Amino acid sequence: MSLTLRQIRYFVATAEIGQISQAAIHLNISQSAVTTAIKELEGMLGTLLFQRSAQGMSLTDAGRHFLNRAYVILRSVDDALNSPLPDIRASGLIRLAASYTVIGYFLPHHLQRLEHWHPDVAIEVHEQERQAIEQGLLEGKFDMAVVLTANLTHPDIVSETLFNSERRLWLPSHHPLCERSAVSLADVALEPYILLTVDEAEQSAMRYWENARQQPNVRVRTSSVEAVRSMVANGSGVAILSDLVHRPWSLEGKRIETVTITDKVTPMSVGLAWHREREFSPAMQALRNYFHDAFLAPQQLSARR
């Protein structure tokens, strides 16, 4: 078995955060993927890297030694990736549209990396709602978009999903449901509910509630993720939101826990979109290639061709 960068990244995230569940949320992957990667590393090295306990994961002496080596590996890879070769540099302008959630919780880090990779590509970012993004792509106002791909509706918009972010139940610390490993929507329906509305979140939520033949006990509707975060942390209600926007602390410094839901709750899909007849410029292709490389296992093109 060969050592992979994915194993290194999963190990480092777990070492820094101290919990497999939170490392998985941070990485936008499943807990089982993190667990498997760590077991593979321990198998290759022939030693335990972590001590497991109810409180989380703590590094062994071997784990601390390997963490230092892992940092060296990741720094070397970042140095290589952030030094674009002069003979493959793209140039030009991209008019990139993005929805509220994408621009707030996903895009800034990647814009910074794109600037390092492709300094001659200028990216003009426009925050818009989904309907305006689709219309802008159709009219040629935007070249590409980074969007919640499941929300797209127009048949002439091609979409490509980069990753799926699982939706989980958010709870205040010490809530009785925190003691469970998973809960059903029927359990959630008994709790006061904080419903997010931005980026068509309410429509997405009601689809999986209706499929489960349940109804949330909505106390507050809000377009602010931070309002949801604070209200949940303060004990005003619970919410179901994606791992992408999850943070373990509210602005007031109160803890927010997450629990898996047993019913089928569709994940939030983030990806690229463009007009099906749009001819790719070198700058557009460079942006698409960057996201393919960043997410290692790009998904197949959506059926919206």
Higher-confidence residue of 296 and 237: namely: 237
- Mean pLDDT computed over 43-61: 88
Count the Cβ atoms, other than its own, within 10 Å of residue 127: 14
- Please report the pLDDT score of residue 297 as a whole number: 40
pLDDT above 90: percentage of residues in the chain? 63
Report the alpha-carbon distance of residue 63 to residue 42 in Å, rounded.
9
Angle at 83 between CA 78 and CA 86, to 5 degrees: 155
Nearest to 28 by CA among 299, 269, 273: 269
- Mean pLDDT computed over 226-234: 96
Higher-confidence residue of 304 and 122: namely: 122
- 225's torsion region: left (phi>0), alpha (psi -120 to 50) or beta? alpha
Residue 1: band (very low, low, confident or very high) from pLDDT cuts 50, 70, 90:
low
CATH code linked to domain 92-164+268-296: 3.40.190.10
Q: Residue 59 gets which letter from DSSP?
A: E
Most confident of 10-19, 81-90, 188-197, 288-297: 188-197
Higher-confidence residue of 137 and 55: namely: 137
- Mean pLDDT computed over 166-171: 94
> Is the pTM here over 0.95, yes or no?
no
Report the alpha-carbon distance of residue 272 to residue 298 in Å, rounded.
11
- Please report the pLDDT score of residue 83 as a whole number: 59
Which residues of the chain form CATH 3.40.190.10? 92-164+268-296, 167-260
Classified as helix, coil or strand, 247 is coil
**Residues facing 24 on adjacent strands:** none
Report the alpha-carbon distance of residue 9 to residue 201 in Å, rounded.
31
Q: pLDDT of 87-144, one tens digit each?
A: 567 899 999 999 999 999 999 989 988 988 889 999 999 999 999 999 999 999 999 9
- Please report the pLDDT score of residue 300 as a whole number: 37
Higher-confidence residue of 139 and 253: namely: 139
Residues 6+ apart with CB under 8 A from 140: 275, 278
Q: What's the distance, Cα to Cα, between the start and end of the chain in Å?
A: 39
- Mean pLDDT computed over 39-46: 91
Nearest to 14 by CA among 46, 66, 72, 59: 59
Computed over every residue of the chain, the mean pLDDT equals: 89
What burial letters (b/e) apply to 87-104, b meaning 16+ CB within 10 Å? eeebeeebbbbbbbbbbb
- Please report the pLDDT score of residue 113 as a whole number: 87
What DSSP letter does each residue of 165-229 carry, written as one string?
E-EEEEEETT-GGGGSSEE-HHHHTTSEEEEE-GGGHHHHHHHHHHHTT---EEEEEES-HHHHH
Higher-confidence residue of 295 and 143: namely: 143
CATH code linked to domain 167-260: 3.40.190.10
Report the alpha-carbon distance of residue 301 to residue 150 in Å, rounded.
13
Residues 6+ apart with CB under 8 A from 71: 12
Kindly tell me if the per-residue pLDDT of 52 is higher than 60. yes
CATH 1.10.10.10 holds for 5-82:
yes
Report the alpha-carbon distance of residue 218 to residue 65 in Å, rounded.
50
- Please report the pLDDT score of residue 239 as a whole number: 98
Residue 302: band (very low, low, confident or very high) from pLDDT cuts 50, 70, 90:
very low
Q: Which of 18-22, 138-142, 297-301 has the lowest mean pLDDT?
A: 297-301
Report the alpha-carbon distance of residue 17 to residue 9 in Å, rounded.
12
Element (H, E) at 267: none
